[in-house]
Structure 1
Amino acid sequence: MRYLFVGFLTIILNSCSSDNLQSDLESINYSCCDNNPFADTNVDNLEQSRGELEFYGFATPNNDGVNDAWSIRNLELYENFTLKIFDVDKNLVYQANSNSESRVFFPQGSEFQDEDRVFQYELVIENETTFLNKGYFCLFTGMKKRSGGKCTSVFPDPILD
């Protein structure tokens, strides 16, 4: 019985090793800054002459003034939108719409600054047959330098290699 327990504990400790964590983060980077896994189901019948919508793959909310919040470029130019953000367990963590009082930025405050995370977003403009875009983005937290995988930005972020 003692050997069975030690073996079980070894499996648990190995599954939480830094190698597995690195592998998970690499797959997260792929989802956040590479091909959108929802590309085949997204709908874009929206006339975007006001400004093309641009979806960013990451944010680094560490208060250094660079990429501190995730946003969608030019979203404020469109009326009748709904944006929902979910955690990896599909729990709704943020929601905004065209009636929101300010430009949409996420996160607001410091509620997600404890660890790197992946979020899924869903944006609908007018209705799901006019414009529907789902995708992922990452929050890279803290000041520790790390690889951003395929994540790039107009403003180079000091914490991403």
Structure 2
Amino acid sequence: MFAGFWHKNFWPTNFWQEEYWAFGLIIWASPTSHDDVNNKWDDETYAYDNNTGTYARQTIGGFTNYLELILSSPIVCDRVRFWAQTGATRINVDVYYEGGWHDLYSGTKHPDSEWWVKAIPAGEKTVSKVRVSLEAGPSPRRLYEFDFAQISVGVARLYKSVERGVLSGVDRGVM
């Protein structure tokens, strides 16, 4: 899907207006529920509370059991992002679409203490959930946050106006 940005300025006498147009917006959507199938995770809701200072955790050794993170309804998505434990040695992420699980990432390296974005190899899909498993050393495995990139259809107009040096309004709308 095309994503773009267009900007223009107006400078009539004593008046200034700036318009911003965004096409094919991406909105980060958080899961709304979870499924801890084997009841091995603690504080699962912290993996989607929009706070990178809290986390879901699991303390057993080796790879953790999967934690499924579920959206309230399926969305069109082409990538996900997550913030995982800095000491995690391996991570496995699968995405659910078209009636089955699809491997998104299984690997040993991800950035420390920052968002990591992974694209769905098949492109845009209608996604309903993911499952995540972590492997680390002796410390508990931690998943701080997880989000889905929701592709929105349409165009958004954002603009602001200044008349005689005073901000007269900020508005935004989707067309």
Q: Which has the higher contact order (CA 8 A, sep 6+)?
A: 2
Instruction: Decide which structure has greater helix share.
Output: 1
For the pair shown, which has the larger CA radius of gyration, 1 or 2?
2
TM-score over 0.5 for the pair? no
Instruction: Decide which structure has greater strand share.
Output: 2
What's the TM-score bracket when you normalise by the shorter of the two chains? 0.3 to 0.5
Given the two structures, how large is their TM-score scaled by the length of structure 2?
0.36
